[in-house]
Amino acid sequence: MKVKINEKKLVKFNLYMSCVLLVAFVLMLVATTVAYFSDTQKMTNTFTSGNVKLMLSEAAVKPDANGNLIEDPDSTRIFGSDTNTVHNYGCVFPGQSIFKDPTIANTGDDDEWIAAKVTLTDGAGDLTRIMGYEGYEDIDIEILLSGGLLAENVHVGTWNGIEDVCYNDRYAMIQISDPSNSKFEFYFLMLQPLKKGESVVLFDHISFPEEWSGEAMQNIADLKIEIQAYGVQTYQLDSCLAAMTEAFPTHFPFQQYVNKP
């Protein structure tokens, strides 16, 4: 397995192109582990095991005078569920900004190791051509997504034996690219446990660059971004990387790097 990361950084959405219709989704999958056991349960909004509980949500939005979608503080937040919450954002266009803040909150009683997996897929367009680097497999997710964790300054280098990781003192992000299948996975690992009542915002805006042409917009037709949130107990697990690879080895395929310098 080749692990790569771009030097930039990213609730789940589809772009259906005709008038370039944006339909967005929020999907939450939270799983936990107790001692050496793990458990995944699907319930509306929250997934629990023992005292470990998470909630994934985002703000409701409303249009402004310029056609952008801004946060609507008068509406309740939209919560993830096992049935995929769908929002119809209408037609999107170059230069448009959409407020979108996938937020993971620790609603349990104990500290938790927190991680998120963000998957980009594009069934019709060409992500590498629109958002990629010449001669490089990865894509620049910050072209579309910004704010939150993605607004923080980071280093790019080897981290826990994994090359080309984007990281700072707060989080690490690993990208695994499969351009032949138009699939790009981003793993966000929080390097400090999230305390009871605390939350973390992965990003807070989707932006479509003004310089994008209609052809470029067409080339990201059927773009999907899916987010999954994970929480694991801190007991007997001294890092987020160890927690995720121990509890979810299938979802976090980095076991060979744990405990390596």
Instruction: Give the domain ranges of the chain.
Output: 12-253
Where residue 42 falls among pLDDT bands split at 50, 70, 90? very low
The per-residue b/e assignment along 31-41, b for 16 or more CB within 10 angstroms, e otherwise, is: bbbbeeebeee
In the predicted structure, residue 88 carries a pLDDT above the cut 50: yes
Where residue 186 falls among pLDDT bands split at 50, 70, 90? very high
pLDDT of residue 165: 94
In the predicted structure, residue 261 carries a pLDDT above the cut 70: no
pLDDT of residue 5: 41
pLDDT of residue 85: 57
pLDDT of residue 255: 80
* Beta partners for residue 58, in sequence order: 78
Taken in order 232, 11, 191, 174, the sign of the CA dihedral is: positive
Lowest mean pLDDT among 47-61, 150-164, 167-181, 212-226: 47-61
